[in-house]
A = this chain, B = another copy of it.
Amino acid sequence: MKIGFIGTGVMGGAMALNLIKKGYSLNVFNRTKSKAQTLLDNGAIWKDSVKDVANSSDVIISIVSFPKDVEQIYFGPEGILENAQRGSIAIDMATSDPELDKKIYEQGKKSGIAALDAPVSGGDVGAQKGTLCIMVGGDEKVYEEVLPILKAMGSTIVYQGGAGAGQQCKMANQIALAATAMGVVEAFAFADKAGLDREKVFKILSSGGADSWQLEAYAPRIFKKDFGPGFYIKLLVKDLSIAKSEAKLMGLNLQALNLSDSLYQGLIDEGMGDLGMQALIKLFEKD
């Protein structure tokens, strides 16, 4: 069996390497070839286009940044759906629009290509260690078929339901974590203004009902003024925008989501999209 892998950036590169380590043979393509070099050094075969990956692989995995990139690699004469063989399986592991993945699923069905949406969480460290969370939408039988492949990349893998359900679960995840991040940042903005010692406040917050992954991961970085990613603000806002439009489609008014989206969008407007999400504290500290 050949696995095609499209998108070998920080996340995809580490995930693909784990597949190689588990013995899978890979065809790879990336817009910037140099970013695939480690994989090629480890035995992956370079392909010159999405099309070439698609028509030479049994399972085609893609992880690219934005929905428009997903659209580009799936649709059109050079895309996965046009060029993959009947009976192949395409897995979109980017965080993307559930509606888009439903469309891919439907169109794939017509061409005999099974499509799954399988976005991940866990960041670059999870990708490297093979401990990602993977949330999967699509046909359950297809999910079961590729489960061994997913297990090479993640440790918590949950089938969520039909096409788009993986993306929807990811949206729920992002809604929760963005609100939590707001709370962490406002707590320290308050503590700072009150003249409290951040480390002492952290000791209390991390010991009880205010504790969270966001607090544990980002408060120490905030204290050190380390605003690098981690998780890019521009990608978080992409996710929150998708969540907002999904919520709108469903007739849901999620005020904390709207607020987190608007606060983070404000940082992008000030040129901070390439910082990590802990830079939300910059709403309150100007240096």
Contact = CB atoms under 8 A, between A and B. Distances in A.
A190 B135 contact: no
B204 A133 contact: yes
A210 B239 CA distance: 14
A33 B209 CA distance: 31
Contacts of A123: 209
Interface stretch (A55-63, A75-83, A246-254): A246-254
Contacts of A160: 196-197, 200-201, 204
Contacts of A178: 183
A190 B212 contact: no
A272 to B, nearest CB: 18
Counting every copy of the chain, the complex holds 2
A251 B194 CA distance: 11
Contact of A190 (B121, B168, B201): B168
A213 B212 contact: yes
A256 B259 contact: yes
Contact of A186 (B179, B183, B188, B191): B179
Nearest to A247: B190
Interface string A174-209: 111111101110111111011111001101110111
Contact of A175 (B174, B186, B212, B256): B186
A159 interface: yes
A229 interface: no
A255 interface: yes
A14 interface: no
Contact of A187 (B156, B176, B231): B176
Contacts of A65: none
A169 interface: yes
A10 interface: no
23 contacts: A133-B204, A156-B207, A158-B200, A158-B204, A161-B195, A168-B191, A169-B200, A172-B196, A172-B204, A175-B186, A175-B187, A176-B186, A179-B180, A179-B182, A179-B186, A182-B256, A190-B246, A190-B247, A194-B246, A208-B213, A252-B284, A256-B256, A256-B260
Given A165-B196, A180-B210, A190-B247, 18 more contacts: A121-B204, A121-B207, A156-B203, A158-B204, A169-B191, A169-B201, A172-B205, A173-B204, A176-B205, A176-B210, A176-B212, A179-B183, A179-B256, A190-B250, A190-B252, A190-B257, A194-B250, A209-B217
